[in-house]
Structure 1
């Protein structure tokens, strides 16, 4: 049942009223015993709660943080700047290039996943006060999913901080950094869907001695958050 429903959401999306998730229809397509289905899920709302979790579990990139192409971009930047990263100044140059190269790509990559679209749709409905069937249960599910994602991203930032010779400022943690950057990406993504020209255009900006580079606005915002919340390790 969940496999068939995930395939359907992949093809059609998840509608807020769950009109395309009818248990009787899914039972027919899945070819499973009706009595068993209703013993596990007494109604559609209970089924959708499990479906939301299944959608995220079916998307390995969400649980992993960055998608593989973004991780490859990050590795390429660090390899290309291996010599420069021997000095604090060089590590800052490499950090800027890593943020510049990966943020715009990762933002687009994340937005194209079904799991992320479902998360944004459901969280927006819950935040707006709209009546979402099974809303409180869905809220709990989303909170658990986001917490898992934040912890995974915190692990990524711990590794990046070590590589770039950085540490979190007193009173802040990598989890705080992950939450702040997720909020930036979410907000930028919302505005980009409304007006792609407002967010998607490149800006030629010099943020360091390496000179002007083409920066996505989201990358500039993430770089600002990253540098505000971290500091260089003492020599």
Structure 2
């Protein structure tokens, strides 16, 4: 029953309530006996409470960066701009170029994902729950899911930063988890705003905000994410991009 209902929610997305999920439809689609269902959940509200717990455990929400496609996309951008690594300023510009391409792709994925809409709606649903065991359990599950999500995003940022010979600015006294939290909050806010403000998804700017050799087409999600992340990054003075180091990186990226 829970697996069937999760599939229904993930197909249609979660509203701020679960009113669009029919208990009888779940029973039918799950192919289980009604008598067995009502022994397990004498009242349908008990079933929906368990469904909220399952959703909050984060078994399905879009988790953003770190998948194979994103990793391949980063490698392609770096390989296309290897010469940018030769100077500290252009190293930062390369990080911004990765964000320029990746932020829009991530935004469009989240905007079109029922699972991601469900994850956002679940946070709103949680706020409406009365105090009690269910609210506490959903909050605990959301906290665990959020920590896992931010950990993955922070790990991706840390990996790419090291790959490019950059580091976090020591004077800001912030870790990659802080960067991931701020970037994640920005992309979520834009996803929530986009239905009422479609230009967030469609508007483009010819700009060069981070010192690349030339201007490029920027989206609002890319400007928002890059504006945050780039605030924290600087070239690592301990790293010298020699020809040998560049060739080692090229081999690594083309063989992984």
Report whether the alignment pairs 1:81 with 2:81: yes
Mapped partners of 1:23, 1:116: distance in 2: 23
Report whether the alignment pairs 1:173 with 2:169: no
Q: Equivalent residue for 1:6?
A: 6
Q: 1:112 to 1:173 in 2, by over 3 A?
A: same
Mapped partners of 1:64, 1:190: distance in 2: 16
Q: Which has the higher relative contact order, 1 or 2, with Cα contacts under 8 A spaced 6 or more apart?
A: 2
TM-align CA RMSD: 2.7
Contact 1:66 1:106 (C-alpha < 8 Å) held by counterparts:
no
**Superimposed CA distance per residue, residues 56-91 of structure 1 (whole angstroms, 9 cap, x where no aligned partner):** 4246xx346345443332221011122332432332
Report whether the alignment pairs 1:225 with 2:202: no
Partner secondary structure for residue 14 of structure 2: coil
**Superimposed CA distance per residue, residues 189-213 of structure 1 (whole angstroms, 9 cap, x where no aligned partner):** 2222211125530011122142221
Q: List runs of 5+ in structure 2 lacking aligned partners.
A: 239-256
Contact 1:70 1:105 (C-alpha < 8 Å) held by counterparts:
no
**Superimposed CA distance per residue, residues 30-65 of structure 1 (whole angstroms, 9 cap, x where no aligned partner):** 1235566567666123321243047x4246xx3463
Report whether the alignment pairs 1:17 with 2:23: no
TM-score, length basis structure 2: 0.77
Mapped partners of 1:85, 1:191: distance in 2: 36
Q: Equivalent residue for 1:151?
A: 151
Shift of 1:174: 0.6
My pick for the range that moved more, 178-187 or 220-229, is 220-229
Mapped partners of 1:11, 1:209: distance in 2: 41
Q: Equivalent residue for 2:219?
A: 216
**Of 200, 203, 216, which aligns to 2:202?**
200
Q: Equivalent residue for 2:30?
A: 30
Q: 1:228 to 1:15 in 2, by over 3 A?
A: closer
**Superimposed CA distance per residue, residues 87-130 of structure 1 (whole angstroms, 9 cap, x where no aligned partner):** 32332231121111111111111222222101111223445xx4
Contact 2:66 2:152 (C-alpha < 8 Å) held by counterparts:
no
Shift of 1:225: 1.1
Partner secondary structure for residue 7 of structure 2: helix
Q: Equivalent residue for 1:124?
A: 124
Report the structure number with the largest CA radius of gyration: 2
